[in-house]
Every structure is written in C-alpha cells, then in structure tokens.
Amino acid sequence: MSKVSPRTLSGFMELPPRQQMKLERMMEVLRRSYATYGFTPLDTPVIESAQVLLAKGGGETEKQIYRIPREGGDLALRFDLTVPLAKYVAAHYAELSFPFRRYQIGKVYRGERAQRGRFREFYQADIDVIGDGKLDILNEAEIPAIIYNTFTALGLRRFKIKVNNRKLLNGFYAMNGMAEKAGEIMRAVDKLDKIGPEKLKQLLIDEVKMLPCKAENVLDFMAIQGTVPEVLERLTNFRGMDAAFDQGLDELIAVTRYLKDFGVPEENFAVDLTIARGLDYYTGTVYETEMTDYPEIGSVCSGGRYDNLAEYYTDRQLPGVGISIGLTRLFYVLNEQGLLSDELVDAPCDALVIPMTEDLGFAVSAATALRGAGVRTQLYAEKKKFKAKLGYADKLGVPFVVLVGEDEIREGVLSVKDMAAGEQKKLSPQEAAAFIKAAVDAKNSGPVIKA
Amino acid sequence: MSKVSPRTLSGFMELPPRQQMKLERMMEVLRRSYATYGFTPLDTPVIESAQVLLAKGGGETEKQIYRIPREGGDLALRFDLTVPLAKYVAAHYAELSFPFRRYQIGKVYRGERAQRGRFREFYQADIDVIGDGKLDILNEAEIPAIIYNTFTALGLRRFKIKVNNRKLLNGFYAMNGMAEKAGEIMRAVDKLDKIGPEKLKQLLIDEVKMLPCKAENVLDFMAIQGTVPEVLERLTNFRGMDAAFDQGLDELIAVTRYLKDFGVPEENFAVDLTIARGLDYYTGTVYETEMTDYPEIGSVCSGGRYDNLAEYYTDRQLPGVGISIGLTRLFYVLNEQGLLSDELVDAPCDALVIPMTEDLGFAVSAATALRGAGVRTQLYAEKKKFKAKLGYADKLGVPFVVLVGEDEIREGVLSVKDMAAGEQKKLSPQEAAAFIKAAVDAKNSGPVIKA
C-alpha cells in the first residue's frame, strides 16, 4: 500500500510527550491562578461565522484568517479570544451578571507567514472583566496583582509589570497641540527601546513632522522614570492643563494606590510612560510584562482598559479590562532558553509496576492499590528482558519502578526501586503508595519555570 | 453604526458560565482519571493537511469534513482524535517509547446535519495504548478498570461495561459457514435491543439471506448471558471448531481474568456477545458502556483493540487498544436529564469581598489573604446599593460574602456571610480563609454526576 507522509503543518506546534507535560503544567497554573481571582472558565467555538468574526472588518486580520467557504456565508476560525468574548457577552447579555469575569485558554488561528517561533495555531490565555455601562477602576488596579501572582506561580522571579494610561498620553499630546498626531507619535515612541532617544527625536522631526522643541517635550516626558511616587509627583506638574491628562493621572493614582495591599512588590512594578499598546481600542490603563533578563522577547502579558467591547454587535456600552498571555509563544521561548524545570516529573506515570511471574493477580492488585492512593501507575506486562523494562522506565523518566516477583508475592510486599537514587526497598502496598506519593509530591512541589 | 447579529453557529455548544463550570469539572475528572492509569496528555493540531487526514479516504467522513481550500493542498479540521494519533505516532516514532500511552481531550469537527443533541464541534476524550509490533493482552484487560474508575469518579453508579471479542464473533460465523456475511450479520444483530429476537430472525432470513437454522444458531449464540464464568463456560462448548474462535475465547478469558484485582465489581461488567462496534478496524476485544437507567442514550464510552493504527502512514505494525468518551454529547445528555449535581460550587468565586468604606486598603488586603490561602476571591467595588451587591452574589451562586465596613476595619476582622444558611460571623482574615476553604471543599467533595 502506498503511504501518505505523516507530516504536521508548518507553524503548528506538536510537542513530544515530556514537553507536552510541561505545557500542561503551565496551563494548569494559569487555570488555577485565574480562578483564584474569581474568573469563570469560558469556552467558545473555534469556528464562527466570518461575518461575526470580521464585524470590525479590514486590515491584517482579514488577510490572516482561516476561512471555510460555505454557501450562505463563509465560516472562519477565531483569530483571538476577544472577538468571541464580545460576541458571547452580546449574545448572552440577559443571562450574565455584571461585572462578568471570565478566563479562556484556547487555541486561535492566524495564517501568518511561517517563521521560527511564530505559530499559526497558538494558545492564548486571556482574562477580562466586563462591566455593564460602568466598571470601577479597582478592576484595573487588580490586574497587576493577577499578573504578578500568575508569573510567580509559574516560577518566574525576574519580571516587571509596566503600566501606563492612554488618557494620560492623549492628554499630554493634546496639551502640546499634537492631539491629531498622537497615534503616530505612540508608534514612534514604541521604538525608543530599540533606537534610543537621539534617533527617536530625529524620527519625530523627520517623519512625524514635529517641531524640534515639541519632539524634545515628548522625549523629556518619556524620560520620566523612578519609583511610583516619584513618577506620579513629576506627572503632577502637568496637572490643570488638559482634562484628559488629569483624568488619566487620577486613574494612574488609583491603579497604583493599593499595590502593596494587592501584594505586588515594588521591584516587579513600574509606571512606564513609553508603553501604549498598538491597539486603538484601549482607552485607559495599559499593561505590559517584561522578563527582566530577556527584554528582546517583548511583552509576555499585555492588555488594557477598553470602553466598548461589543460595539459591533450591540448598542450597550460594555467597558472592560483584560490581559492576554501568548501561551504557545511563551512556552516556546522558555523552552528554547532552557528555562523549563526538569525537576518535575514529566513521565506518564509515577510508578511502573513490572510483574515477573506468570500469574499477574498480585501485580494487578498492587497497581490498583497504588492508583487508589493517587499514584499515577502503569502496569508493564510486555514480554521483554528485565533490562529492556528498566530501560523503558528510564527513557520515560519514570521515578519509581515497582517489582513484583515470587518473593514479593509470598511476602505480600512490593520492591520499590527509586530510579534516580538507584535504591530499592521492600514495602507493603500501602507503605509503597505513601512512600511514592510523598516522594513524587516533593519532586513536583517546585515551579514549572526555573527560578 | 449598523450591528452584526452576535449569533453562534448551529451545532456548536456554547454554555452559560455555571454550566461551563460543570463541564470543566468533568474534564478535570477525566484528566485525573486517565493520568492515574499512566497516560500522558497529548495535544495535536486541530488543522491538518486534508491529504493526511483523509489518507484512509472515502465514506461519510469525507463528506462531513470542514475543509479550508489552499493552493498546493487543502487543509481540514480533524474529525476524530485517532487519525491525528496515528499521524503523530508515525511521525514521532523514533522519539517515542512503546507501549505509548496517551490521552487526549480535544475538540473535533463534523459537518453533520444539525439536530437536537448532535454537535458539529464536540469534545472527545480518548485514551490509547500503542504497541510496537506487539501489545500484551493485559492492556486490553485493563480498559474496563479505567472505564469503571472514570465513571465512578464522575459520580455515576448504575452503568455496565460490556465486552466482546471480534475474533470470537468472526470465528463463530466462520464455523457456521457465514464468514463472508459476518459484517452484515453484526450490523443486523446490533438492532437486537430495539427489534427483539423474532424480528431479528426474520431480518437475518429475509435480508441477510440466511437459512432459518443458521439464523437460529445466531440467535441462540446471542442469547448466551449470565455471569462471566457462566458465559465463558457456555462458550467453551464451541472450542476446537475454529482457530479464530478459540483465540478470541482465550483473549476473552485473559481480559476477564483479573477483573477483581483491577477493582471492577461484577455488577458493572458483562460479557455481551451482541456488541461488535461498527468500525471495521477493531480486531479483538471491543467495549461499550451503558448507563443502566438510560439505555436509549446508547454507549457512553466505546472502543476496542485494533491491529494497525497507522497503516496509511507507515509499514510498521502498530497494534493498540483505545476507548473514547463523546464528552460534549455525554454532558448534553446528563444536563438534559438533570443528572448534573447542583451541590458543587459553580460560581466564579468562593468569596465575594464587598468593601463598604472609601478606603479599600483593608478590603484589598483581606482579598489578598483569602487568595493566598487558596480561596477563589472576587473584589466587588462597583457603586451599587447593598442589596444589589448581595443580589449579584446570589445570582452567581457565590457561597460566601465577605463584608468590610468601618467596624471590621477597626477590629481587624471580616464579616463572613454564608449565603445559603444566611448566617454571618466575624472572623480574622486567617480564620475566614480557613473557614471558607473548609466549607467550600466540603461542598465540592461530591461528584459531578448525581449518584
């Protein structure tokens, strides 16, 4: 029979088992962390009507979309989790209670040009809080705490949550008579990190067509740095010149006021006036998260406040705030950098039970007892040489092998071999279960990301 | 602005939050149960090359597939998890250790005619054990234990795992000179439950064109029932007439031999000679699982032994055994029948912290403390009347409301209100966390499905 080559499409991540296990652990941490902050899990279809998905229309999105032709209206695969959320909230408005807090960890699809580290199918892990007409600023203030606790739970230590406010930026540009150029300026300032202040100034003069003095104003503003109180104090000097600026500053003060009560350490947080987030639907607080030792990776968790989640579907004003982790890309980068812990058990099982007699009754009972005690257990009954069986356990990274021979059956015990230590001891099935469980729990107590 | 109607496609399940929470719990039980038996989680792309996905080709599958046209070869959405597994094993053969045990819980897509309770996007929850060339029969013997423990963990009590063997059936038909009609007969026998033995006999005579005496032989064989030893004893009478039958009987004996050691109670298990599973790639043991009080639902967990997982991709012989739960349909049916427990907390949070003062510092600290102790906590800072705030908690099904007013701040305590009991008491943040955690753990200790 002629064979079809079993290939996986380019740009689609398909992991070996031990790596998949690490990704699953990261997802589990995200689920638990998001749930701790009172977000409910949501699951929306991967396929939507193209008309619904592209209600906003146009741009890069439309070109990258995976489309399924259908008479009476094409279908399409979701390209983010925000548009399906907007649809969901608009469609289920009457059944929901607001603020509506949901998390969603799901695959999204973008037919981008394939390149190393870029994926066409990738997980996003989003949270959003949606208000009905209004949404208290405390919801924005809470976001840094969620980011902090999520990344800390993953094991990351050296990262910084950067916060800014779009009203503050727009107000600043307005008070400098540059309101209509705000978007262009923000895009230019986004390059500050890469090109430095001198080149940025030239860019603002040459391409954004700003007067040199105004370009300098922008650079001076972006140079405002320091602790949160320091930055806020310097911003206070601009008070009274523009209403939007003042409101933005008030929001920034409110967002930073309870940082300590939220448990966010100073060293993991900064007000950073250079960040703006490209998306034009953010209207207030914006967030980015940078891994201190890997700034080149860019932001690993971003988002912001928006005023109108579902304007393409409903007349209702639905303001919200949300953040998104590009999980597949984050996993890829962590893996590439060797930052994923190998301490945690990534084998399919904690104990491999190897029967060494014809009658398997005692071995099966032992496996049942181990499983009942919460030990992930595999029974290995294949006809192989003893060395091959141990080699199998070794290759999978199984921490414990449980040998069941005639001696063990007669004595009613199990020989438990610690594969890392090479030690072996005889224990009753109950003792073996407790021993293995405790050892595996200890191994798994550390975080997914190496500190 | 003209609005796009925020509709969800027909045949795509999109749940309200409290129902979604129940589905998430079911998935969590499946993940844990499958992991307990030493299966590793796998995640393959939703999109594959149509050529790869349809390597087997033809039939209903091809008509139902969601296709994404592409120059140089169409893409398509997976319609099950078995074909992607076959591709995965063939593609990653060199990296894998055999037996390879994986579970996958993922969405699959079939463009079926939409009807009530039928879905075009649905979750399958599969496990498979794949051998390299050979696979010990113990892997088949273990499957009923996995089914038993999984459904028991979900909370189901009244169900029966039915087992049969395709070699036994084929052997029986061969010894009756009906080998070439085996497929047709199996399809007819599949209707026995619905039409009864008399009509089946007529069907076998009229449509399958069998001699009346042979049709009676089939009916007599299918009427073999009883305990496992009883059925096996009656089957032993047919020994020595057909090699395939004898092998099938040996397998059935091996598969049922350790049931007790595997912890499968007699009342949840039966050898049922009438089941065959439609798929022609099953070659040995086959499994079905019936909810005793809802036989009309059909099998909720099915599968079997196959000899050649990836024959369209590789010359390697990869035998295996697997089962699949149609999770979306199972959830739909359980929900429709009112069988999902309302005892478990399905709110987004366990505690809703309601600050009642201008300064939110203490309320925020309290929320942080609760979260640190593992209590899923939401801070509610919206400007609403007190009654509306309690109404919000009530509508979401939040079990505890934590009130933080001036008295509480002065005393350094929290007023914890049990929403179900209506009782309220003052506790330190630490006491409150422990109290709420214990109460919520107790509420969540029961199973998802009502016993």
Question: For residue A425, what are the β-bridge partners?
Answer: A416
Residue A344 lies in a domain: no
Residue A73 lies in a domain: yes
Contact A325, A300 (CB under 8 A): yes
> In sequence order, what E strands does B260-413 have?
269-271, 282-291, 302-306, 320-326, 351-355, 377-379, 400-404
Would the CB atoms of B87 and A23 count as touching at under 8 Å? no
Q: Mutate one of A95, A358, A382 to test the B interface: name it (highest B CB count within 10 A).
A: A382
Q: Of A92, A97, A368, which is closest to B396 when you measure between CB atoms?
A: A97
Q: Of B20, B51, B361, which is closest to A258 when you measure between CB atoms?
A: B361
Q: A322 and A405: one domain?
A: no
Contact B285, B251 (CB under 8 A): yes
pLDDT, position A281: 85
pLDDT, position B59: 74
pTM: 0.96
What SS3 string covers A86-110? Answer: HHHHHHCHHHCCCCEEEEEEEEEEC
Q: State which of B302, B336, B370 marks the end of a domain.
A: B336
Strands A424-427 and A414-418: antiparallel
Would the CB atoms of B138 and A381 count as touching at under 8 Å? yes
Q: A321 and A296: one domain?
A: yes
Q: Does residue B157 sit at the A interface (CB-CB below 8 Å)? A: no
Residue A451 lies in a domain: no
Q: B319 and B359: one domain?
A: no
Residue B425 lies in a domain: yes
Q: Does residue B2 sit at the A interface (CB-CB below 8 Å)? A: no
pLDDT, position B33: 98
Cα distance from B183 to chain A (closest Cα, Å)?
23
Question: For residue B449, what are the β-bridge partners?
Answer: B340
Q: Does residue A94 sit at the B interface (CB-CB below 8 Å)? A: no
Would the CB atoms of A38 and B91 count as touching at under 8 Å? no
Using a CB-CB distance cutoff of 8 angstroms, which residues of chain B are in contact with residue A361?
258, 261
Residue B451 lies in a domain: no
Residue A124 lies in a domain: yes
The enclosing domain of A252 has a CATH number of 3.30.930.10
Q: A33 and A178: one domain?
A: yes
Element (H, E) at B424: strand B424-427
| CB proximity under 8 Å: B 177-236 to A | none
Cα distance from A423 to chain B (closest Cα, Å)?
22
The enclosing domain of B378 has a CATH number of 3.40.50.800
Nearest-CA residue of chain B relative to A349? Answer: B38
Q: B287 and B406: one domain?
A: no
Q: A393 and A295: one domain?
A: no
Q: Residue B436: which domain range?
A: 351-443
Q: Does residue A364 sit at the B interface (CB-CB below 8 Å)? A: yes
Q: State which of B313, B336, B359 marks the end of a domain.
A: B336
Q: B279 and B405: one domain?
A: no
Q: B179 and B264: one domain?
A: yes
List chain A residues with pLDDT less than 50: none
pLDDT, position B61: 79
Q: Mutate one of A65, A77, A97 to test the B interface: name it (highest B CB count within 10 A).
A: A97
Using a CB-CB distance cutoff of 8 angstroms, which residues of chain A are in contact with residue B38?
348-349, 352, 376-379
Q: State which of A336, A363, A383 marks the end of a domain.
A: A336
Q: B187 and B330: one domain?
A: yes
Using a CB-CB distance cutoff of 8 angstroms, which residues of chain A are in contact with residue B55?
4
Contacts of B216 (CB under 8 A, 6+ apart): B201
Strands B67-68 and A269-271: unpaired
Contact B412, B433 (CB under 8 A): no
Q: Does residue A314 sit at the B interface (CB-CB below 8 Å)? A: yes
Would the CB atoms of A87 and B6 count as touching at under 8 Å? yes
pLDDT (tens, 9 = 90+) of chain B, 451 residues, equals 689 999 999 999 999 999 999 999 999 999 999 999 999 999 999 999 999 999 987 677 788 999 999 998 999 999 999 999 999 999 999 999 999 999 999 999 999 887 888 899 999 999 999 999 999 999 999 999 999 999 999 999 999 999 999 999 999 999 999 988 888 898 899 889 889 999 999 999 999 999 999 999 999 999 999 999 999 999 999 999 999 999 999 999 999 999 999 999 999 999 999 998 876 789 999 999 999 999 988 999 999 999 999 999 999 999 999 999 999 999 999 999 999 999 999 999 999 999 999 999 999 999 999 999 999 999 999 999 999 999 999 999 999 999 999 999 999 999 999 999 999 999 999 999 999 999 999 999 999 999 6
Contact B20, A35 (CB under 8 A): no
Q: Of A7, A41, A46, which is closest to B49 when you measure between CB atoms?
A: A7
Secondary structure class of B272 (helix, strand, coil): coil
Residue B448 lies in a domain: no
Contact A62, A74 (CB under 8 A): no
Would the CB atoms of B107 and A38 count as touching at under 8 Å? no
Would the CB atoms of A361 and B258 count as touching at under 8 Å? yes
Q: A312 and A434: one domain?
A: no
Residue A166 lies in a domain: yes
Domain count, chain B: 2
Q: Of A14, A55, A352, which is closest to B88 when you measure between CB atoms?
A: A14
Q: B85 and B49: one domain?
A: yes
Q: Of A24, A66, A313, which is closest to B6 when you measure between CB atoms?
A: A313
Using a CB-CB distance cutoff of 8 angstroms, which residues of chain A are in contact with residue B14?
43-45, 88, 91
Cα distance from B204 to chain A (closest Cα, Å)?
35
Nearest-CA residue of chain B relative to A362? Answer: B261
Would the CB atoms of B8 and A313 count as touching at under 8 Å? no
Would the CB atoms of A121 and B47 count as touching at under 8 Å? yes
Using a CB-CB distance cutoff of 8 angstroms, which residues of chain A are in contact with residue B263?
368, 372
Nearest-CA residue of chain B relative to A45? Answer: B12
Would the CB atoms of B4 and A51 count as touching at under 8 Å? yes
Q: A274 and A371: one domain?
A: no
| ipTM for the predicted complex | 0.96
